[in-house]
Amino acid sequence: MTDRLHFKETEYGRLRHILTSPWLDPLWAVLFALTCGAVLLILTGHDPVLAYREWVARAILRPSGIQETIVRAIPLLFTGTAVLLALRAGVWNIGIDGQVLVGALAGAVAASYLVGISAPVMWAGATVAAVLAGATWASIPALLRGRLGINEIVTGIMFNYIAISMTAWLIKGPLGDPAVVLPQTRLIPVEMRLLTLGGTRVHIGLVLAVALVGCLGWFLTRTVAGYELRATGASPAAAAHGQIPVRAYIIVALVASGAIAALAGANDVLSTKGAFQGEWNPAYGFVAFALVFLGQRSIIGLVPAALVFGQLSYAADVMPRAADVAPAFFGVIEGTLLVALAVTVWVRSTSVGRSRFGRGAKA
């Protein structure tokens, strides 16, 4: 009898250990967000069972839904990688949205001049132009942070507003295509856009995004520079004491983050949009931070987290017709998800602090 009880207690302990594993925190956060979403649907007169069933049937189980989810996850994967790189250096690249816009505009203008040569040359030229534009745009907040100690969050937000207004003005003026009424750059022909994979809507931008994630993981874990960058983010004072150039790593991380964010804009122009349009602002910045925290700030977690938010983006377009659910509902899901993740981090940090205090008191 005693052995049986001990066996049950052991199995219960194992199950509790599995269910409370930090690796499952994103899953519990998603379930919590969906539960809150169901409550919100009930309060607004909708049937949550019907809404979620239509969501699964139309956006998850259909091949077109899977493809569209992946397509929308690609730019999020770029911006999530950009955010994570900056966080590893201990800084917050809040200027993601501005860097995306500047990179998209530079890529679109470069593509408009190279469209008559060949598709690969156009892709390469547009990508290089976008990367240089994003890096240049991010270099100003980076230098202000590294040299003068000015908070990069404040300058990043301000530069977002400048980028939104500046790109809108440029596309309505000197950089717009005079042959069309709507303000936009010269349209890239469909046959000149990024190649698709296997006859699907998924394009080769996915390959570049996944390769970039892999390269960042290798850099951070397998190189001396990656170690020193992570040391800078973990403790700038200790890193400086260890003769690590902290300011240089902060500047480089923010500039590189801006260059990667600009790839998201170039990706959209070269694949789905075909041009930079006036007043276009995909607002990837907030989603990128939510994506990084859903992936638990790990390299591996970026890919599934990007797919989750890509699915939410696609569902926001499908569900108004399928179940009369407003697109803003999925913004609520995203916000609730981020709050749930923040709560789990707080609970775990509090639990760790209490356990350490308890051990210290017993000692």
Q: Is residue 4 part of a domain?
A: no
Q: Is residue 276 part of a domain?
A: yes
Identify the residue whose tokens are 């509790």.
16
- Nearest to 185, CA basis, from 113, 262, 108, 263: 108
Name residues whose C-beta falls within 8 Å of residue 197's C-beta, 6 or more positions apart in sequence.
203, 204, 206, 207
* pLDDT for the residue 29: 86
- 283, 164 in Cβ contact below 8 A? no
Name the pTM for this structure: 0.88
- 310, 287 in Cβ contact below 8 A? no
- 176, 275 in Cβ contact below 8 A? no
* pLDDT for the residue 271: 92
- Give the Å distances, CA to CA, from 207 to 21, 194, 195, 202, 214: 31, 11, 11, 10, 11
* pLDDT for the residue 20: 60
- Give the Å distances, CA to CA, from 285 to 82, 88, 137, 178: 10, 17, 15, 31
The span from the CA of 142 to the CA of 155, in Å, is 9
What string of pLDDT tens digits covers the 363 residues of the chain? 555 555 555 655 565 555 566 667 788 888 999 999 999 999 988 889 999 998 998 888 899 999 999 999 999 999 999 999 999 999 999 999 999 999 999 999 999 989 888 899 999 999 999 999 999 999 999 999 999 999 999 999 999 999 999 999 999 888 888 888 888 999 999 889 999 988 889 999 999 999 999 999 999 999 999 999 999 999 999 999 889 999 999 999 999 999 999 999 999 999 989 999 888 899 899 899 989 988 888 899 999 999 999 999 999 988 888 788 888 898 889 889 888 888 887 776 776 555 554 554 443
Three-class secondary structure of residue 203 per DSSP: strand
The span from the CA of 66 to the CA of 202, in Å, is 9
Number of domains in the chain: 1
Q: Is residue 130 part of a domain?
A: yes
Residue span of the structural domain in which 245 resides: 79-310
Q: Is residue 25 part of a domain?
A: no
